[in-house]
Amino acid sequence: MIRSSRWLDRVLVGGVLLLLVAITTIVVLQAGRERARNNGSPTAAAIVPTTAALPPPLATPLASSVATPLAGNVVCLDLGHGGMDWGNVRLEDEQVVLREKDLTLTTGLDLARRLRSDGLTVVTTRDTDTEANPANADVNGDGIVASPDDQANSDELDDQQARVNICNEAGADLLVSIHYNAAENTALEGFEVWYNDQRPFSDQSERLATLVHEELATRLTAAGLDATDRGIGIEDHAVTGPERPHELAPSEMPGVVVEGLFLSNDDDAAFIQTPGGEEAIVTAYERAIRAYFGASAG
């Protein structure tokens, strides 16, 4: 019995040792497979670059365009008028010296550049000196198009519907229509912001109007113009609504129409033509749009 017991003990001890060796071998082999899988996988290699491939550390934090509330939002900028539609003009000695369509193009393209570098996605209703519907298509389907002796290449409602469609098709979160004012009374001066109060999102349009209005007041004053604040108004506008059955399908996002300054006023016109003047207006738009999306004004 004793001998049997010893023999049994040896067998048991030997079996346990063999088991331990086998388990250790399996663990080592598994670990080796894990390493091989990670090293061999292109995905893993792409996500975890080697230390040598990392860029040098930045001296300053990344620009605010990265990971801000702005990323992923789409802004539609409507650059008023264009092509044969000059919009408002300034006359001096019966000569046209300023055209609204040129100023809205400059302001709009400058603003688009700024907003893109802020991280926003920007669509514009035009990028060149053209109408929004130069082909004279019946965009709103009312059967009316421009005739050859008309002043513009497009029926005005078709032009406006083309602008609205660009913003809607882009799925824009915001619409900003850029304009400059003029009047026969050359004493009239200052800035106005308009929105429509009949849309489901009119409270957001009003919030944007308030932001643009505040920023224009601040930026124009800071740039040295004693600008007249003509306030915030409510209007029916082809671009911002409301819906006009059989005439216009409305824009589907909060929006404002901004009348910068008066081309017909001497002080306003002189200011607009200075680099600091244009800069102040673009900055006002930019800060208001940033604030609308919850980013710091920058």
Only one of the segments 24-32, 173-181, 273-281, 283-291 lies at the binding site for Zn ion (rule: CB under 5 A); that segment is: 173-181
Residue in the shown chain whose Cβ atom is closest to Zn ion: 179
Residues in contact with 4: Cβ distance below 8 Å, sequence separation at least 6, in sequence order: none
Neighbours of 47 (CB within 10 A): 8
- Footprint (CB under 5 A) of Zn ion, residues 70-99: 80, 87
Q: What whole-number distance in Å separates Cα of residue 21 and Cα of residue 37? A: 25
Least gap, CB of 249 to Zn ion (angstroms): 21
Give dist(CA 112, CA 110) in Å, integer.
5
Closest CA to 80 of 245, 260, 231, 283: 260
How many residues touch Zn ion under the rule CB under 5 A: the total is 3
Map the footprint of Zn ion across residues 130-169, applying CB under 5 A: none
Q: Is 260 in the site for Zn ion (CB under 5 A)?
A: no
Instruction: Scan residues 196-225 and list those touching Zn ion (CB under 5 A).
Output: none
Q: Which is nearer to Zn ion, 176 or 291 (CB)?
A: 176
Q: How far is the CB of 88 from Zn ion (least distance, A)?
A: 6
SS3 103: helix
Is residue 55 within 8 A of residue 106, CB to CB? The reply is no
Give 87 or 190: the residue with its C-beta nearer to Zn ion: 87
Give the pair of three-digit tokens for residue 197: 């109060």
Among 90, 126, 163, 179, which residue interacts with Zn ion (rule: CB under 5 A)? 179
Binding site for Zn ion (CB under 5 A): 80, 87, 179
